[in-house]
Structure 1
Amino acid sequence: MILSTNIFDNTEFLLYAIFGIVIIIFLIFDLGFFNKDAKKVSLKAASYQSVFWVVISVAFGFLIYKFYDDTVLMLEFFSAYVAEYALSVDNIFVILLILRYFKVKETYYHKILFWGVLGAIIFRAIFIFLGAFLVEQFHWILYIFGAFLVYSGIKIFFQKAEDDLDPEKNVVIQFARKHLKITKGDFNGKFIIKRGKKYLFTPLFLVILLVESTDLIFAVDSIPAVFAISQNEFILYTSNIFAILGLRAKFFLLAGIIDKFYLLQKGLSFILIFIGGKMLLEIFNIHISTLVSFSIIFSTLLLSILLSLVIPQRKNFKDLV
Structure 2
Amino acid sequence: MDVPFWAWAVTVGAVVAMIGFDLLGHRRPHEPRLRESAIWSIAYVSVGVAFGVLVWALYGGRYGGEYFAGYITEKSLSVDNLFVFVLIMSGFAVPRALQQKVLLYGIVFALALRTVFIFVGAAAIEQFSWVFYLFGAFLVWTAVAQARGGHQGQDEYTENGVLRFVRRFLPTTDDYHGDRLMVGVDGRHLVTPLAVALVAIGSADLLFAVDSIPAIFGLTQETFLVFAANAFSLLGLRQLYFLVDGLLDRLVYLHYGLAAILGFIGARLLIHALHANELPFVNGGEHVTVIPEVPTSISLAVILLTLLVTTVASLVKDRRNRAGARLAGHGPDGERFPTG
What TM-score, normalized to structure 1?
0.90
Task: Give SS of 2:184's match.
Answer: strand
Match of 2:210 in 1: 220
Give the SS at the match of 1:41. Answer: coil
Q: 2:12 aligns with which of 15, 20, 34?
A: 20
Counterpart amino acid of residue 18 in structure 1 = V
3-state DSSP class of the match of 2:293? coil
**Correspondence list, 1:64-83, <5 A:** 64-68=55-59, 70-83=60-73
Tell me if structure 1 keeps the 8 A contact 2:254–2:314: yes
Bigger Rg over Cα: 2
Partner amino acid for 1:13?
A: F
Alignment equivalent of 2:97, drawn from 107, 120, 141: 107
Find 1:292's aligned residue among 292, 298, 315: 298
Q: Does 1:141 align with 2:131?
A: yes
Q: Contact 1:94 / 1:165 at 8 angstroms: preserved in 2? A: no
User: Is residue 63 from structure 1 mapped to residue 54 from structure 2 by the alignment?
Assistant: yes
- Unaligned 5+ segments in structure 1 are 5-10, 316-321
RMSD over aligned Cα atoms: 1.8
Cα distance, 1:126–1:165 mapped onto 2, change above 3 Å: farther
Query: How far apart are 1:262 and its partner, in Å?
Result: 0.9
Q: Does 1:152 align with 2:175?
A: no
Paired residues for 1:264-275 under 5 Å? 264-275=254-265
Matches of 2:154 and 2:120, distance apart in 1: 28
How far apart in 1 are the matches of 2:174 and 2:220?
46
How do 1:47-62 residues align onto structure 2 when only pairs under 5 Å count? 47-62=38-53
Find the counterpart in structure 1 of residue 334 from structure 2.
none
- 2:23 aligned residue: 31
Q: Would you identify which runs of 4 or more consecutive aligned residues in structure 1 move more than 6 Å?
A: none
Instruction: Return the alpha-carbon distance in structure 2 between the equivalents of residues 202 and 313 of structure 1.
Output: 43
- Counterpart residue type for residue 298 of structure 1: L
Residues 1:180 and 2:186 aligned together: no
Return the offset for 1:238. 0.8
TM-score (norm 2): 0.85
Match of 1:308 among 311, 314, 319: 314
Answer whether contact 1:97 1:162 (CA < 8 A) is retained: no
Contact 1:167 1:210 in 2 (8 A): no
Q: How many aligned positions are there?
A: 305
Is 1:87 the counterpart of 2:77 in the alignment? yes
Q: Which has the larger helix fraction?
A: 1
Stretches of structure 2 lacking an aligned partner (at least 5 in a row): 275-287, 323-340
- Following TM superposition, by how much is the alpha carbon of 1:294 offset from its aligned partner in structure 2, in angstroms? 0.8
2:182 is the alignment partner of 1:192: yes
| Counterparts of 2:223 and 2:204, CA distance in 1 | 23
